[in-house]
Amino acid sequence: MSIDSLPPLREIIERHGLMARKSLGQNFLFDLNLTAKIARQAGELQDHTVIEVGPGPGGLTRALLAQGAKVIAIERDPRCLAALEEIEQHYPGRLQVISGDALETDFAGLADGPVKIVANLPYNVGTQLLIGWLLAEPWPPFYQSLTLMFQREVAERIVARPGSDAYGRLGVLAGWRTEARITFDVPPQAFTPPPKVTSSVVHLTPRQSPLPCDAAVLGKVTQAAFGQRRKMLRQSLKPLGGEALLARIGIDPTRRAETLSIEEFVAIANAL
């Protein structure tokens, strides 16, 4: 069953000559039942504003609109604009397409009220965008939730706990400020062209009162600590104060970054 009366995505792709480009991280979803399932992970969408990064030919965009959202979509590939215009005409006044680079977009300034961010992210800029949203100021942030598709390995790093191989900068920042969970996996065959690896949808909800800490300083501490994750903290954190800094807050300087809890990272950042 189709979610709207627009033409199938394969037809749209052909008509607009949208051959996927690897350099833009283009792996398109054509199955509207699947895009509807992704959109549902964002919760209630009726009359909510959703910001979507990289709508491409509009598979996820259509699912968001069909579920009642108003969508502001940022797309870097101008070849997609004509296809998106067809969707805009089908949902008058509910889809705004911004032709531009999400990495240079001020997301907080895009809408007046609270927004939800939903995206099948281009793999080459996904992590950078997520870190920007996690370090947003002021906090609680301008968004109510993030529902994002990543490569499975990146999704595991986002929800990772101390002591695991996947635990690193992403896990600390996401765990500090949000509650993050993987909602479901999507196999490579669901995309055109298929990527080499499985993908996962991650849902992140901002914590209203995360442990008090300067986001930029915590970002710096985690970058230094996990930049040399096999080294002892006294070595990896040397540029930030090393052994003396760790002694001040009673953390054993011979420990490695992956053994530190989020609370301990926050304590280091606050001691700086």
Site residues (vs ligand SAM, CB under 6 A): 24-29, 53-56, 59-60, 74-77, 80, 101-103, 120, 122, 125
Please enumerate, as own/partner, the contacts of 252-257 that have beta carbons within 8 Å and a separation of 24 or more. 256/229, 256/230, 256/231, 256/232, 257/168, 257/222, 257/225, 257/226, 257/229, 257/233
Please name every residue paired with 148 in a beta bridge, in sequence order, or none if there are none: 119, 202
Measured from the CB atom, is 28 or 142 closer to ligand SAM?
A: 28
Residue 63 CB, shortest distance to ligand SAM, in Å, is 9
Closest CB to ligand SAM belongs to which residue? Answer: 54
- What is the rounded CA–CA span in Å between residue 143 and residue 72? 13
Residue 195 CB, shortest distance to ligand SAM, in Å, is 9
Which SS3 state, helix, strand or coil, does residue 59 take? helix
CB-based contact 12:80 (threshold 8 Å): no
Residue 55 CB, shortest distance to ligand SAM, in Å, is 5
Residue 222 CB, shortest distance to ligand SAM, in Å, is 24
Measured from the CB atom, is 98 or 272 closer to ligand SAM?
A: 98
∠ Cα 192 72 24 (to 5°): 35
Measured from the CB atom, is 91 or 167 closer to ligand SAM?
A: 91
Tokens of 118: 């939903």
Rounded to 5 degrees, what are φ and ψ at 93? 75, 5
Measured from the CB atom, is 101 or 165 closer to ligand SAM?
A: 101
Measured from the CB atom, is 128 or 164 closer to ligand SAM?
A: 128
Residue 119 CB, shortest distance to ligand SAM, in Å, is 7
**Dihedral Cα 94, 100, 103, 108, nearest 10 deg:** -40
Measured from the CB atom, is 74 or 221 closer to ligand SAM?
A: 74
Residue 205 CB, shortest distance to ligand SAM, in Å, is 22
Rounded to 5 degrees, what are φ and ψ at 147? -125, 105
Measured from the CB atom, is 78 or 212 closer to ligand SAM?
A: 78
Place of tokens 């509650």: 179
Classify strands 115-120 and 70-75 as parallel, antiparallel or unpaired.
Answer: unpaired
Residue 71 CB, shortest distance to ligand SAM, in Å, is 11
